[in-house]
Structure 1
Amino acid sequence: MDIKWLEWAKQLQAIAQAGLTYSKDVYDVERFEMIREMSIEIMSQHTEVNQRLIRDLFANETGYATPKVDIRAVVFKDSKILLVKEKSDGAWALPGGWGDIGLSPSEVAVKEVKEEAGFVVRAVKLLGVLDKKCHPHPPSPYHIYKIFIQCEIVGGEATKGIETSEVEFFSEEELPRLSVERNTESQIKWAFKFLHNPHEPVYFD
């Protein structure tokens, strides 16, 4: 798979979305609709997501196109990292999800840990801001920034959530099958660097 084609499709979608937002001329609108349809066809081919679903996703996107934000909480206990088993794919991930309107990144991290794992935590440190396209995730229709925030447990107990079926802590040497759409093995091992060296610099890109 040539991922460059997918990146071009995302750029075409962004151009089309901005054009449909700001254009007044009916012929320009028609041309931008054609560009969006081309991007949908390309994305469908490269992501194995059907065109109707991609079109429905983009139909809800208006205004100038910007990256989406995915926030992940990194929680350690007894030198192990907290992971939750996702019901959607049966694989494991750091608690987290899309950024919520009205909540700061740290508030989202705290909320997601409570909802997906049952623990009450407080956010203590920004570990990194990663561009998903720079890491070995499966292709995605969206351009996504991933924010990793270290949190510490202050209460609660392990409890599965609506979207999770299990909650466990894993050592660096015994990681389970990961939900690579959400996090990769290299990212989990990178997170462990902050356990071994609290002064590890914030990572970006």
Structure 2
Amino acid sequence: MTTRDFGQDLRLWADELRAIASEGLYWSGADAYQRRRFERVRRIAAELWALQATDEVGAIETCFRAEQPHVAPEPCGDAAIFNAQGEILLIRRRDDGLWAMPGGGFEVGETPAEAACREALEETGLAVEPLALVGVYDSRRCGSRTARHLYQFVFLCRPRDVTAQPTLSNETLDVGWFGEDSLPPLSPGHAPRIRDAFRCWRGEQCAAVFDRPEQ
């Protein structure tokens, strides 16, 4: 069981209430009673969110009102890029100063694999080829620290040009290749995903990882 701090729990509870309120308001139609109930749920979600944010409750609630009717976990992806020596390419993030696989949120019109490859190019300067799906991870289960509920796809990748060298971007402080026994301090949530990526690279893991339903 992954340990989270209380602030992380507050944000996740607020995010879940926000989704319930948005969907409830959509299906309430002209039922004034139901609408009042879900508007109150949305307000509570904003109040919870504000406990761990610098924005005012009213500003947060305004953002919540502008969202689409059906709110779902946000998809994002990582590129687990390996070289011929079996080392993984990691970036040092600007937001927390820790190391992570290159990755980010998906955009409309691209597949998950395309998104992971795009993020790799933007953050490392390397064009990569996706080889396999390592797994799909629920941010609540793998230790990620985020204000939103995420589904995190990890793709095993290799550089299209083995002679190309990674470069820095405006999102990264550093970039480098690392062996499994010499990993730097990792950003929260990346340790289990990187572990599975190494297993997949070595051929020890054939099926993609996913979170089993809790009993």
TM-score computed with the length of structure 2 as normaliser: 0.82
The alpha-carbon deviation at position 111 of structure 1 amounts to 0.8
1:159 counterpart residue number:
167
Question: What do you get for the CA RMSD once the two structures are aligned?
Answer: 2.3
Q: What is the deviation of 1:95?
A: 0.7
Identity of aligned residues (%): 31
Matched with 1:130 is 137
What is the TM-score of this pair, normalised by structure 1?
A: 0.86
Distance of 1:172 and 1:61 partners within structure 2: 41
Q: Paired residue for 1:20?
A: 25
Higher strand share: 1
> 1: CA distance between counterparts of 2:68 and 2:201?
41
Distance 1:191 1:64, change over 3 A: same
Whether the 8 Å CA contact 1:21–1:62 is kept in 2: the answer is no
Picking from 51, 72, 80, the partner of 2:87 is 80
Shift of 1:201: 1.9
Q: Distance in 2 between matches of 1:105 and 1:8?
A: 26
| Equivalent residues, number | 200
Q: Equivalent of 2:42, from 4, 12, 36?
A: 36
Could you tell me how far 1:162 is from its partner in structure 2? 2.2
- Confirm whether residue 50 of structure 1 aligns to residue 54 of structure 2: yes
Q: Which amino acid aligns with 1:175?
A: L
Corresponding residue for residue 177 of structure 2: 169
Contact 1:178–1:184 under 8 Å retained in 2: yes
Alpha-carbon distance, 1:198 to partner:
5.3
Structure 2 contact 81–156 (Cα < 8 Å) conserved? yes
- Structure 2 residue corresponding to 1:121, chosen from 119, 125, 128: 128
Q: Secondary structure at the match of 1:173?
A: helix
Compared with structure 1, are the counterparts of its residues 60 and 96 closer, same or farther at alpha carbon in structure 2 (3 Å cutoff)?
farther
In the alignment, the residues of structure 2 paired with residue 56 and residue 120 of structure 1 have an alpha-carbon distance, to the nearest angstrom, of 39
Q: Does the Cα contact within 8 Å between 1:121 and 1:152 map onto a contact in 2?
A: yes
